[in-house]
A and B are shown apart, each in its own frame.
Chain A
Amino acid sequence: MSEQPRPYEPLTSENAALVLIDHQLGLMTGVRDYSTGELKHNVVALAKAAKALKLPIIVTTTARDSMWGPTFPELVEALPGVPIIDRSSVNAFDDPKVAQAITATGRKKLIFAGDVSATKLIIDSQPGSVILVGHSYGGAVITEAGTDPKVAGLVYITAFRPGQRRVG
């Protein structure tokens, strides 16, 4: 608690940037808590609002050409000329290109919207230690995400438990 308390700064169009993670066709089907139509509508609205406010916008995808497919067209259309940074790592924060792009905006207030990196975001947002549970292919996901210092244990439910380099 030695850190100096900093006065609260609200989000403004001068201090914030928007980071959109993995809004890809192949990942839409994994969204179960609400409809994909609603998801697209919300993300496109967020992107358009950010554009209207002239916020820097970073867009990134995971394994676009080999696995999860392109960013959905409605979002690409809403953001003409915005480059899309493709990654091979699941965790967007581990990718130097994404990190550089965010740093280059000079903005300290970051607004995130994404899904695959959700595991890491959820770990980060927990007050204490977490246990990750993976079923089937999910075992590969927790094997990768589980090195986070906050992860205290891994529970595999009839799951893949890959070693280094290759799954299976």
Chain B
Amino acid sequence: MPPILPPKDGYLFLDKTKFPDSFAGDVDRKTAVFMADSQVPWGVDALGGAITEPAWKSKSSWYLQVRDDKMIPYPAQQFMAKRAGATVVEVPRSHAIYVSNPKAVADLIEQAASGIK
């Protein structure tokens, strides 16, 4: 489970001591600690936020499934990717994939861009 602290004034933070391992386990320690310190708070109500018309129902989509993610568990990612038939690419590593393996992220964006005319 993500190390989410009890809400304070309606905002959520991740426990800074657990952040490096759970959010960025594959990022060098110094960077992960900095990410923990510089995290942006998250509004409690964002968890129940309303979507008027989900864009994935009408647009092509791609999903990068990250196997070792401890923030959004792999089975949850699989469920969300499958729900609307996204083109799926899968890689190992953590939730901080955009830091630890930016090439995987960039490659998927390129794939999406070349798949759309």
Contacts and interface: CB of A to CB of B under 8 A. Distances in A.
Interface string A95-135: 00000000000000000000000000000000001011101
B33 interface: no
Contact of B112 (A68, A136, A143, A155): A155
A26 B71 CA distance: 22
Nearest to B88: A156
Nearest to B60: A153
Contacts, number: 140
Given A131-B109, A146-B55, A161 B80 contact: yes
B43 A153 contact: no
B1 interface: no
A158 B51 contact: no
Contact of B42 (A88, A137, A159): A137
Interface residues of A, number: 43
A145 interface: yes
Interface residues on B, range: 35 or more
Contact of A29 (B41, B46, B71, B108): B41
A162 interface: yes
Contact of A154 (B11, B46, B55, B98): B55
A137 B54 contact: no
Nearest to A145: B55
A168 interface: yes
B79 to A, nearest CB: 9
Interface in A74-103: 88-89
Contact of A131 (B11, B51, B58, B116): B116
Interface in B38-86: 40-56, 58-66, 69, 71-72, 77, 80-81, 83-84, 86
Nearest to B61: A154
Contacts of B116: 129, 131, 152-153
